[in-house]
Structure 1
Amino acid sequence: MNDATTPIGDPLAVTRNWLEKAVIGLNLCPFAKAVYVKQQVRFVLSDASTPEALLEELIEELVLLRDTPAEQIDTTLIIHPEVLTDFLEYNDFLENADAAVETLDLQGILQVASFHPQYQFAGAAPDDVSNYTNRAPYPILHLLREDSVERAVAAFPDPDVIIERNIETLDKLGVDGWNKLLAGDKPH
């Protein structure tokens, strides 16, 4: 599996594999394991085929997350394999996601984070391994509660270390190691 091919299999299962092996397994997000093991992560497989349909679904999920106690759903992953598969289009759509948060008067309450198979940080080369901190098998809109993020960051002595550690981890792993990890092989 790499960013040039589409993953094979059920998008929910492939996303869970990525979350378990990469995000949690490599400890890319030290806050993910707790909500995952408590089954407080909602996985939504979108059948949207247009950005407009995805935006409608995003709004529904923002309202659901707002209205549901964190003990039941702390965070939501909207996996949308049929729309915004081009990273630049996806990146442009994030303005609409932020506008939806604002329209619903949820700024400071909920936020939308981004994951994409072709994710590329500004100023980074497309093949830079640091991009893999935000690469997922499918485009994903990650809905987060601001208070959960603040609690997690407050519990971590130096959150800036997370970014540095992630880059070191991915540098050691390399792209081949990343692909082997997600394929189920042990990276060297």
Structure 2
Amino acid sequence: MQTWLQTFVVGHDICPFAGREFRRRAIRYAVSAGDAMEAMLEALVAECQRLDSTPEIETTLLIFPRGLEDFDDYLELLSLAEALLDSLGYEGIYQLASFHPDYVFDGAERDDPANFTNRAPFPTLHLLREASLERALRHHDDPEGIPARNIDLLREPDSPALSLARRILDARG
């Protein structure tokens, strides 16, 4: 995951805000040991509590190496996780970004290179501090253009970013 973050996400500026936090070592990589939905949600709550009590951690990548190989199962976890954060009063405090090795945007073809913007070596919930995200977005010239720029980058013929993303995902297996 660190290689994916450093070489793909930061290296190709997929997320223009990740580089600063990567260099500051303010990103936590947490691995969920459980493969049952309940254990995964408990891991999410634990990471929220860790962020609550540890301001030097800017963001957490909660990684699920087992139990979410099927993308539909992952989408179920994501839906439950969002509802859980809301029910615990974390709406407006933390935001989830989602990544899965087989990520496919609704309405997109499976082989569309745009899907690689949300593909990672393992199913992952990315917990972001909403206040930090809002602050970063205010200082970016074109935050609304980030997704389109990434899609264009990955859809370029012979895209080095797409080639790298595919190599990283292939290497995990």
Fold shared per TM-score above 0.5 = yes
Which segments of 5 or more consecutive residues in structure 1 lack a partner in the other structure?
1-14
- C-alpha change, 1:68 and 1:62, in structure 2 (3 Å) is same
| Aligned structure 1 segments of 4 or more residues deviating by more than 6 angstroms | 181-184
Distance 2:70 2:78 in 1: 13
For the residue of structure 1 that corresponds to 2:62, the secondary structure is strand
Does 2:63 match 1:79? yes
Given candidates 166, 169, 178, the residue that maps to 2:165 is: 178
The reply to whether residue 159 of structure 1 matches residue 143 of structure 2 is: yes
Shift in Å, 1:67: 2.2
Q: Which amino acid letter does the alignment assign opposite residue 42 of structure 1?
A: R
Give 5+ residue unaligned stretches, structure 2: none
Counterpart amino acid of residue 136 in structure 1: A
Distance 1:181 1:95 in 2: 27
How far apart, CA to CA, are the structure 1 residues paired with 2:129 and 2:19?
16
Percent of counterpart pairs with the same letter? Answer: 43
Matched, 1:18 2:11: no
Query: What residue in structure 2 maps to residue 60 of structure 1?
Result: 46
**Paired residue secondary structure (1:142):** strand
Q: CA RMSD in A?
A: 1.7
* Native 8 Å contact 1:21 1:182 kept in 2: no
Taking the TM superposition and a 5 Å limit, the aligned residue runs for 1:34-73 are 34-69=20-55, 72-73=56-57
What is the number of residues matched between the two proteins? 168
1:148 aligns with 2:135: no
Counterpart of 2:120 in structure 1 is 136
Is the 8 Å Cα contact of residues 121 and 168 (structure 2) preserved in structure 1? no
TM-score, normalising length from structure 1? 0.84
- Match for residue 92 of structure 1? 76
Letter in 2 for 1:170: L
Name which of structure 1's ranges 126-135 and 157-166 shifts more when overlaid on structure 2: 157-166
